[in-house]
């Protein structure tokens, strides 16, 4: 049985805060992500439970990270885009069984040097 080497972090934030999410993730070791526009379906009971106003327009940021930086990225997202911030974000991770199509970090650095 193969060991997971990557995790998918999914962060859902208010519209306009995906840049905050990506900056926080990159500061903690992530390389990039994918942003999707979404619409929340929370009701008034959810707003009462969390004691916050819930905006219907959301952004979903998906970030594939190596397992060794997952905790640092999640902590950074909590601190800079969590429920207590204007982004009012929630984040969670899912295990990823297989990854293809990614270049190693060192190869990216070498490619960047050749282009410069």
This prediction's pTM: 0.77
The total number of structural domains that make up the chain = 1
Q: Is residue 25 part of a domain?
A: yes
As a whole number of angstroms, the distance between CA 2 and CA 54 comes to 40
Q: Is residue 62 part of a domain?
A: yes
Q: What is the CATH number of the domain that holds 10?
A: 3.30.70.120
pLDDT by residue (tens digit) across 55-114? Answer: 789 999 999 999 999 999 999 999 999 999 999 999 999 999 888 886 665 545 444 555
Q: Is residue 82 part of a domain?
A: yes
Are 11 and 21 within 8 A, CB to CB? yes
Q: Is residue 1 part of a domain?
A: no
What range defines the domain where residue 40 resides?
6-115
């Amino acid at each position: 049985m193969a060991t997971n080497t990557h995790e998918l972090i999914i962060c859902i934030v208010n519209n306009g805060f995906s840049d905050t999410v990506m900056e926080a993730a990159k500061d903690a070791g992530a390389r990039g992500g994918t942003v999707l526009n979404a619409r929340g379906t929370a009701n008034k009971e959810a707003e009462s439970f969390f004691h916050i106003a819930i905006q219907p327009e959301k952004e979903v940021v998906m970030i594939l990270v190596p397992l060794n930086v997952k905790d640092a990225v999640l902590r950074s997202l909590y601190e800079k885009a969590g429920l207590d911030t204007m982004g009012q974000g929630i984040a969670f991770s899912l295990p990823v069984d297989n990854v293809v199509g990614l270049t190693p970090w060192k190869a990216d650095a070498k490619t960047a040097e050749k282009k410069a």
